[in-house]
Amino acid sequence: MRDRTVPALAIACAALLAAAPLAPQWLVFLLALALAKGMVVLGLVLLMRTGLVSFGQGLYFGLGAYAAALLAHRGGIADAALMIVAGAACAAAVAAVLGLLLARYREIFFAMLSLAFSMILYGALVKSSALGSTDGFNLHAKGFAGIALAAGTERRLFYAVSVVVVFAVAWLLHRYLASHWGRLSAAIRDNELRVEYLGASVYRVVYVNYVAAGALAGTGGAFAALAVGHVDPETAYWTTSGEFVFIAILGGTGNVLAPFLSAALFEGLRTVANQYAPNVWQMTLGLAMLAIIMFLPGGLWTLLRRRGAP
């Protein structure tokens, strides 16, 4: 079947951009959050394609959010573009160090180690009164790439920027997955021994993918911080990491569009459920996960694929 991912990405990007000036504020906020989380899940999909499940992407999500926020709050640089770069760079730098260790582990050991590192950050943030402890602190971007922002327009602008950045990254990841290294990642998931016997370094591929996933999570964290206007230790908490895994399983790893569809569905469900069934919505999510695992192990994307999706 012909791959129609790129046209689908372009159409989705154009539709979301067109919605920027027209959609109600609540919808812009919800979509911005979904895009930020979709970005994190995109990295998780890359790891899952390599056969790894991280329960610690909250570490990089939190780092990205706090790095962006601190740049404005403490560094006095309230330019959203620089804040996003800071979030991505900080997360990538930490992933580059931790990846040296984590790339040696697989399966439950990888999952638990990644969880442990995220909980270390959570613990440090909770104990740090200088960073607002459990309350966190607010942030406010005053401009974007040197252009001052008019009051009331910034949320829509950040949303539009996140649409462009997220879809550009999704396109790049789509190309990466179709490249030699992308195939190599899938080969590692299937049979590491054979990859080594063909002469490639499994460690190197896992390391590169891990750092890339960290950078994506950091970027997502910075976008989320800009959308919400606030950061707190919950960004690094294990339930946040679990949420990313939930979204990845909900959507499936079959296509780079899947994380965004499932993230939007997840945020939409949460918003509606919080309003109409605030006490049972987590139970509803649990049941949804059970149904997905039992009936659609490839995620919701398999439903779309049956209908001719790319």
SS3 71: helix
- In this complex, which beta carbon is closest to other proteins, that of residue 107 or of residue 196? 196
Which long-range contacts (C-beta less than 8 Å, at least 24 apart) are formed by 23-29? 25/155, 28/155, 28/156, 28/159, 29/155, 29/227
Among 198, 277, 280, 287, binds other proteins (CB under 8 A): 198
- In this complex, which beta carbon is closest to other proteins, that of residue 145 or of residue 193? 193
Q: Determine contact, residues 229/83, Cβ cutoff 8 Å.
A: no
Binders in 20-49 for other proteins, by CB under 8 A:
none
Across 127-143, b (16+ Cβ under 10 Å) vs e yields eeeebbeeebbebebeb
Q: Determine contact, residues 188/195, Cβ cutoff 8 Å.
A: yes
Residue 183 in the binding site for other proteins (CB under 8 A) = yes
Residue 295: C-alpha distances to residues 57, 145, 276, 303 (Å): 26, 46, 27, 11
Q: Among candidates 124, 142, 116, 128, which has minimal Cα distance to 56?
A: 116
Distance of closest approach, residue 310 Cβ to other proteins, in angstroms: 17
E strands in the chain = 137-138, 143-144, 147-148, 230-231
Query: Please, how many CA atoms are within 13 Å of residue 191, restricted to the half-sphere of its CB?
Result: 4
Find the part of the chain contacting other proteins (CB under 8 A) among 110-118, 189-197, 237-245, 270-278: 189-197
Residue 186 in the binding site for other proteins (CB under 8 A) = yes
Distance of closest approach, residue 188 Cβ to other proteins, in angstroms: 9
Among 16, 102, 187, 264, binds other proteins (CB under 8 A): 187
Binders in 130-169 for other proteins, by CB under 8 A:
none
- In this complex, which beta carbon is closest to other proteins, that of residue 189 or of residue 305? 189
- In this complex, which beta carbon is closest to other proteins, that of residue 229 or of residue 298? 298
Find the part of the chain contacting other proteins (CB under 8 A) among 28-36, 199-207, 215-223, 258-266: 199-207
Residue 201 in the binding site for other proteins (CB under 8 A) = yes
Contact pattern from residue 245 through residue 284 relative to other proteins, giving x for each residue in contact according to CB under 8 A and a dash for the rest: ----------------------------------------
Distance of closest approach, residue 197 Cβ to other proteins, in angstroms: 5
Find the part of the chain contacting other proteins (CB under 8 A) among 16-24, 126-134, 197-205, 272-280: 197-205
Q: Determine contact, residues 79/143, Cβ cutoff 8 Å.
A: yes
- In this complex, which beta carbon is closest to other proteins, that of residue 45 or of residue 72? 45
Distance of closest approach, residue 153 Cβ to other proteins, in angstroms: 47
Q: What is the DSSP letter of 79?
A: B
Residue 1 in the binding site for other proteins (CB under 8 A) = no
Q: How far apart are CA 104 and CA 124, in angstroms?
A: 25
Residue 97 in the binding site for other proteins (CB under 8 A) = no
Residues that bind other proteins in the complex, under the rule CB under 8 A = 180, 183-184, 186-187, 189-191, 193-201
